[in-house]
């Protein structure tokens, strides 16, 4: 574990209770580090466990979920062990979140002022007058014109792009050490996307560490420094961002890159991964990707999977890749 890590997650395991069946393991032994002023991309398809991982760290899981193992060290404390009361002091102050849909993440019945000052006041960080000033400044910082006036409006009175900015302002206002952004640009138009990413980059420049959950590899490349790739609840590859995209190693990462379409890539053949991700209640033994993997070698791939170092700053959960390296 490096000293510079802002958040260090080790062996996180989260299960969901089900009626009349074994609990479902949604996150299975996930580990990663986030550094100050750096962005980590968590890349994966739906059902890969990206969001459950972050919700576990933040303590905002649904009631049927249970964390059954692991640590999440943040400022010398294990977020998974400190309990809800302590976690509430961290959440919204030291760790903030930005979601895919500001319409759903914001309270439609409260003005921006109420929502932007809420964290500051609840955590007792400043007086009401100061909170208002800081909220206005945050709205201005994210490029909302006439913030003095806009702070009195409700979320629905803003356009989609402006609402996304307001949500970022809400996350920024307490100057958090860590920002978790769950698909922050998926619901906005491409021409707005880069503006949103540039705003988040501003935060990164001020030293905030960012975890960005995304399925958009172009967004990940533009914004993130490092990446972990998740599949069926596990980390399958960990690498510096550019290295992952230019030279993916785990067969799933290779498949993901081969499936991605890109402008200018019209003549490149598509190489879709056959089949679909497993139903978590029937996760294949060993490496969960092996039934779809062209390189799978039985019986070994169907019995074991461990994360192996394959190069500087690079790990892959595939023994065959480790042999290549």
- Chain residues binding another protein by CB under 8 A are 45-46, 160, 189-191, 193-194, 215-219, 221-222, 242, 245-246, 255-266, 270-273, 276-277
Which residue bears the tokens 């679909």?
Answer: 276
CA 160 from centroid of its chain's CA atoms = 21
Task: Please report how close the Cβ of residue 71 comes to another protein at its closest, in angstroms.
Answer: 30
Cβ nearer to another protein, comparing 105 with 187:
187
Task: Please report how many Cα atoms fall inside a 13 Å half-sphere around the Cα of residue 128, on the Cβ side.
Answer: 1
CB of 240 vs another protein, minimal distance in Å = 13
Question: To the nearest whole angstrom, how small is the minimum distance from the Cβ of residue 197 to another protein?
Answer: 8
Question: What's the closest the beta carbon of residue 214 comes to another protein, in angstroms?
Answer: 11
122 vs 156 by CB, closer to another protein: 156
Nearer Cβ to another protein (42/95): 42
Supply the minimum distance, in Å, between the C-beta of residue 160 and another protein: 7
In 3D space, the residue among 295, 194, 301, 182 whose CA is nearest the CA of residue 248 turns out to be 295
Q: Which is nearer to another protein, 211 or 273 (CB)?
A: 273
Please give the Cα distance from 257 to 163 (Å, whole number).
Answer: 32
Burial 180-193 (b: 16+ CB within 10 A, else e): bbbbbbebbeeebb
Q: Are 219 and 185 in contact (CB under 8 A)?
A: yes
117 versus 185: smaller Cβ distance to another protein: 185
Strand order in the sheet with 39-43: 95-98, 178-182, 209-214, 39-43, 226-231, 234-240, 314-316, 308-311
CB of 38 to another protein, least distance (A): 19
Residue 303 · residue 285 · CB < 8 Å:
yes
**Contact present, 216 and 44 (Cβ < 8 Å):** no
Q: Is 300 helix (H, G, I), strand (E, B) or coil?
A: helix
Closer CB to another protein, residue 2 or residue 46?
46
Per the DSSP assignment, residues forming a β-bridge with 226 are 40, 240
Return d(Cα 325, Cα 320) in angstroms, integer. Answer: 9
Q: In this complex, which beta carbon is closest to another protein, that of residue 14 or of residue 214? A: 214
Q: Where are the beta strands (DSSP E) in the chain?
A: 5-18, 21-35, 39-43, 65-74, 77-78, 95-98, 178-182, 209-214, 226-231, 234-240, 308-311, 314-316
CB nearer to another protein: give 119 or 163. 163
């Amino acid at each position: 574990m490096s000293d510079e890590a802002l958040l260090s997650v080790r062996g996180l395991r989260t299960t969901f209770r089900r009626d009349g069946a074994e609990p479902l393991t949604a996150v299975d032994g996930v580990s990663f580090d986030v550094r100050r002023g750096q962005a980590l991309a968590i890349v994966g398809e739906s059902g890969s466990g990206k969001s459950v991982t972050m919700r576990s760290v933040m303590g905002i899981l649904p009631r049927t979920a249970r964390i059954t193992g692991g640590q999440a060290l943040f400022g010398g404390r294990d977020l998974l062990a400190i309990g809800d009361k302590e976690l509430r002091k961290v959440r919204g102050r030291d760790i903030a979140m930005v979601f895919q849909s500001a319409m759903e993440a914001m309270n439609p019945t409260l003005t921006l002022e109420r929502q932007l000052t809420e964290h500051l006041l609840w955590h007792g960080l400043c007086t009401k007058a100061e909170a208002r000033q800081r909220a206005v400044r945050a709205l201005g910082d994210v490029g909302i014109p006439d913030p003095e006036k806009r702070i009195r409006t409700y979320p629905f009175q803003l356009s989609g792009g402006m609402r996304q900015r307001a949500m970022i302002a809400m996350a920024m206002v307490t100057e958090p050490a860590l920002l978790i952004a769950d698909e922050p640009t998926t619901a906005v138009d491409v021409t707005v996307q880069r503006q949103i990413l540039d705003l988040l980059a501003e935060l990164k420049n001020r030293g905030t560490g960012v975890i960005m959950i995304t399925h958009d590899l172009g967004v990940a490349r533009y914004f993130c420094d490092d990446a972990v790739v998740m599949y069926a609840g596990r980390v399958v590859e960990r690498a510096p961002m550019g290295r992952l995209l230019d030279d993916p190693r785990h067969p799933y990462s290779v498949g993901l890159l081969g499936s991605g379409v890109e402008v200018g890539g019209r003549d490149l053949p598509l190489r879709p991964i056959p089949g679909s991700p497993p139903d978590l209640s029937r996760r294949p033994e060993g490496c969960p990707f092996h039934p779809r993997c062209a390189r799978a070698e039985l019986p070994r791939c169907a019995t074991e999977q461990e994360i192996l170092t394959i190069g500087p700053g690079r790990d892959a959960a595939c023994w065959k890749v480790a042999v290549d390296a």
